[in-house]
Amino acid sequence: MKLSSVLLGALLAVEASCAATPRADDYSQLQDLAKQAEDIAKAQLQAASSKRAPAPPGKCTLQNLQIRREWSTLSKEDRKAYTDACNCLAKKPAKTPAGVSSGAKSRWDDFTATHIAQTPTIHFTGSFLTWHRWFTWNMEQALRNECGYKGPMPYWDWAQTANTGLTKHPLFDGSAYSMSGDGAKVQQTGDIVLSQPSLPDIHLPTANGGGCVTSGPFKDWKVNLGPQQLSVPGGAIVGPPSGNPLDYNPRCLKRDLTDWVNRRYANASSVIDTIRRNSIYEFQGRMQGNLPLAETGGQPDIGIHGGPHYALGGDPGRDVGVSSSDPAFFLHHGMIDRAYWIWQMLDYYPRTYGDNAINGTGTFLNMPPSAPQTLDTVLSQQYVTDQSFKIRDLVSTTAGPFCYIYL
Ligand SMILES: *[C@@H]1O[C@H](CO)[C@@H](O)[C@H](O)[C@H]1NC(C)=O
Ligand SMILES: *[C@@H]1O[C@H](CO)[C@@H](O)[C@H](O)[C@H]1NC(C)=O
Ligand SMILES: [Cu+2]
């Protein structure tokens, strides 16, 4: 308590001194906030260990803390090790019973089947941030424990790709050290149209891809499940051919890397504007693009969560439930989790365990209406893992099962 108020005081002093000096651009503001978050997290771990009590087994310390890093800062070898592990996991047998999902053929598909099945109870709910934090961590653990990957989950910094252009960035340049690049150019006619109750429709342009990914580590990747609700050019929404998104429907990975969408919804200012929101309601609402228009400057928005999903484009990029079948999903959710972590660290206790820690019910936009979720709500990710956790155990990146921060 005492420590955090000292840190908060220091933080406010930093902010005050910033206001007096010329204003840094939004990207460097974002890096400054990340640095503050890092310092606060490390000071907390330092304080916890300075009691000199032997740490209980499994406890997060400065010694075993993992640091998650942005893709382009990894060595080529480390990038290759990551994509090799993804391809390995896509060859391991599924744990999901065929009676639950006949299309789940691999361990990777266990993740997507879980994400599809739970889509109505993990998006626009109280659990959105913690569920996806744990999901991303479960992928990191599967890559490490089942496929020999040694590093932490990398992340996609959309504020960078908004500047460089997606295909110009090492993440999506299509090389052997990327997450593969754009899809082949196919004819796409009409916009992508997104609808939400009580908000105007949003029209997104298409770009220069739309077809199968042609180079890099994932050129032979298979999307086995879905579509569930795939937005296609012209405004239609396409469902599964069999009627069940968990059925087997193998197809290539399609992308339509769309700089316009990345720049419009997930540039550095969008990230800053999200992190500067005070309440969890505004923070996660700004992130998912479901705040009332009065709170988004009169323009409907899809937020820093929706923006990069639709900037990936294609199939499954434009399909909420199946989106985790594009390997880039987990790097996107790494950055979502990084924004959540930075936001939490800037006012740690209230935003982690206190009255600003959770807001929302257990159903998509509260449809159908359901009870508010709390820190005692239990989350499951069967058949990704047999473990289940209370949300309370998933709110800190340095407690519960977790021990990581971001650079
Ligand atoms: C960057 O993000 C801000 C805030 O979301 C938005 O208003 C602005 O239009 C975006 N910039 C571009 C170039 O689209
Ligand atoms: C979330 O916060 C908003 C704004 O404070 C509030 O109106 C709403 O009732 C809260 N939702 C739940 C489920 O508590
Ligand atoms: Cu999701």
Distance (angstroms) between ligand 2 centre and the Cα of 53 equals 40
- Does domain 5-406 fall under CATH 3.40.50.720? My reply is no
pLDDT of the residue at 148: 98
Please work out whether the CB of residue 286 comes within 6 Å of at least one atom of ligand 1. Answer: no
pLDDT of the residue at 55: 52
- What are the pLDDT tens digits along the chain (407 aa)? 344 444 444 444 444 343 334 445 899 999 999 999 999 999 999 888 776 655 554 589 999 999 999 999 999 999 999 999 999 999 999 999 999 999 999 999 999 999 999 999 999 999 999 999 999 999 999 999 999 999 999 999 999 999 999 999 999 999 999 999 999 999 999 999 999 888 899 999 999 999 999 999 999 999 999 999 999 999 999 999 999 999 999 999 999 999 999 999 999 999 999 999 999 999 999 999 999 999 888 889 999 999 999 999 999 999 999 999 999 999 999 999 999 999 999 999 999 999 999 999 999 999 999 999 999 999 999 999 999 999 999 999 999 999 999 99
In the chain, domain spans: 5-406
pLDDT of the residue at 56: 56
Distance (angstroms) between ligand 1 centre and the Cα of 270 equals 6
pLDDT of the residue at 377: 98
Distance (angstroms) between ligand 1 centre and the Cα of 271 equals 10
Contact 394, 337 (CB under 8 A): no
Q: For a pocket test of ligand 1, which of 26, 27, 269 has the largest count of ligand atoms closer than 8 A to its C-beta?
A: 269
Residue of the CA atom closest to atom 2 of ligand 1 = 270
Q: CA angle, 355 as apex, 353 and 359 as ends, to 5°?
A: 95
pLDDT of the residue at 49: 74
C-beta atoms surrounding 343 within 10 Å: 23
Distance between CA atoms of residues 361 and 370, nearest Å:
6
Kindly write down the DSSP assignment for every residue of 383-403, as one continuous string: TT-S-EEEGGGGS-TTSTT--
Please work out whether the CB of residue 264 comes within 6 Å of at least one atom of ligand 1. Answer: yes
